[in-house]
Amino acid sequence: MAPPLAVVGPAVAAPSFRTALPSRLRPRKLPSWRRAALPKDEDYYLIDAEESIGDGFSFSGGKYGEGPSKSDEWFAQGKMVNAYPVYGDKGKAKDPFFGLTMGSGSQPSDDVFRWFCVEAGSSSNPKVLLIHGLPSQAYSYRNVLPLLSDKYHAIAFDWLGFGFSDKPQPKYGFDYTLDEYTASLESLVNAVAPDKLSIVVQGYFAPVAVKYASEHQDKLNHLVLVNPPITDKHVSLPSPLASFSNFLLGEIFSQDPLRASDKVLTSCGPYMMKEEDAMVYRRAYLVSGSSGFALNAISKAMKKDLKAYIESMRSILGSDSWKTKTTVCWGMRDRWLSYDGVEEFFGGLNQKIVELPMAGHHVQEDRGEELGNIIKSILR
């Protein structure tokens, strides 16, 4: 039996958000002909509906002013795991604009970073690591985890810089480069799955996971790529993400909770999401500036190195030395990554492609239960 996750103690309390937000009108229901392609839950809306219906998430006044929120409930389900050493000793992190010492959320851990992980299923079951994309959180797999729990030990985590994991100020222990993310993933895998595992990875962190996997094929049972950037058309970030890498404006945009979470998440697929779920993603940007600084840094790193990582991923997956069973799942309503050339590339490698017609870029968010059942059938 694999050892349990290394947990930091004592437990860290989730910062609570209790400030009332400005009110916005909720979008009215779409006529039946506009809802035909939507899930049965009427709280979902197309974001390409006419402007009068609404153009983003809706706020709900003091809804989160009292009592626990979904964010609190999600945090209570997880635990903090120690993985990847903090490099250097540069003292207290300071604001890049004014040189003021920043709050605790932007400070590095003393020796080893803390990662927020949520588990489902017995630790004696085969392990499956669920890796979210950019910008997202482990919360996106909330509907996938229960479906895997009967046969697998599923683990979803927040990358450093996202959700409840550590978010050190860039240049103070972690610089958010793709090479660092690859090295830190190895450290996390060693902590949570020291033996064999399967990996499911979505979106722009797929090249990082593939680079890790290429060096540890002996540990992998299966690799599932969910809407990975793979063609030449995918080497540049879409404009909603690229804006965070701009000089000066990137720092400003990344500190805007609506732009950094709501507008980015809705720009990549066909759906809005419920306000209570949107609040979980939004929370990190509301309680601290550290999430914004991290988003700015990773966007710059992606802009600089994404092309090379995608080219490396194509080379790895097409190499004769690549022996890991690989399956691709693709949300066909992805507004960021075109499907053109995807089938040709993976089909040429005899790697199976599973199409999800109703899902956008963040497949696990749009169609979590459907993806969970597909993953089970793939790993079976």
- The 10s digit of each residue's pLDDT in 339-366 is 999 999 999 998 999 999 999 999 999 9
The pLDDT of residue 127: 98
Instruction: Give the tens place of pLDDT for each residue, 142-200.
Output: 999 999 999 999 999 999 999 999 998 888 789 999 999 999 999 999 999 999 999 99
All structural domains of the chain with their residue ranges: 70-95+103-379
The pLDDT of residue 64: 42
Instruction: Kindly list the distances between the CA atom of residue 203 and the CA atoms of 34, 148, 236, 330, 363, in Å, as whole numbers in the listed order.
Output: 28, 20, 13, 10, 9
CA distance 203 to 171: 25
Question: Please, which contacts does 260-267 make with residues 24 or more away whose CB atoms are closer than 8 Å?
Answer: 260/135, 260/285, 260/291, 260/292, 260/295, 261/135, 261/285, 262/56, 262/57, 263/56, 264/135, 264/240, 265/135, 265/136, 265/362, 265/365, 266/47, 266/56, 266/57, 267/47, 267/238, 267/240, 267/335, 267/336
For residue 374, give both structure tokens: 């597909």
Per-range mean pLDDT, top range of 93-97, 98-102, 247-251: 247-251
Say yes or no to pLDDT of 8 above 50.
no
∠ CA(70), CA(75), CA(77), 5° rounding? 100
For residue 50, give both structure tokens: 């006419």
Question: Measured between alpha carbons, how far apart are the two ends of the chain, in Å?
Answer: 20
Tokens 């004014």 belong to residue: 98
CA distance 193 to 221: 12
SS3 string, 239-251, reads: HHHHHHHCCCHHH
Please give the residue that has the higher pLDDT: either 28 or 376. Answer: 376
- CATH 3.40.50.1820, applies to 70-95+103-379: yes
Percent of the chain scored above 90 by pLDDT?
Answer: 64
Please give the residue that has the higher pLDDT: either 359 or 20. Answer: 359
CA distance 236 to 299: 11
Per-range mean pLDDT, top range of 57-61, 70-74, 100-104: 70-74
The pLDDT of residue 165: 96
**CB-based burial of residue 248 (10 Å sphere; 0-12 exposed, 13-18 middle, 19+ buried)?**
exposed
The pLDDT of residue 207: 98
Please give the residue that has the higher pLDDT: either 1 or 314. Answer: 314
Helical (H) or strand (E) element with 224: strand 220-226
Say yes or no to pLDDT of 20 above 90.
no
User: For the whole model, what pTM was predicted?
Assistant: 0.82
Say yes or no to pLDDT of 22 above 70.
no
Total residues found in the chain within this entry: 380
Q: Which of 6-10, 76-80, 103-107, 127-131 has the lowest mean pLDDT?
A: 6-10
Contact 275, 336 (CB under 8 A): no
Per-range mean pLDDT, top range of 100-109, 129-138, 255-264: 129-138
DSSP 18-33: -PPPPP-PPPPPPPHH
Instruction: Give the tens place of pLDDT for each residue, 241-297.
Output: 999 999 888 888 998 888 898 889 889 998 877 888 999 999 999 988 889 999 999
Please give the residue that has the higher pLDDT: either 17 or 77. Answer: 77
Look over the chain and give the mean of its residue pLDDT values, rounded to a whole number: 83
Say yes or no to pLDDT of 7 above 60.
no
Contact 305, 177 (CB under 8 A): yes
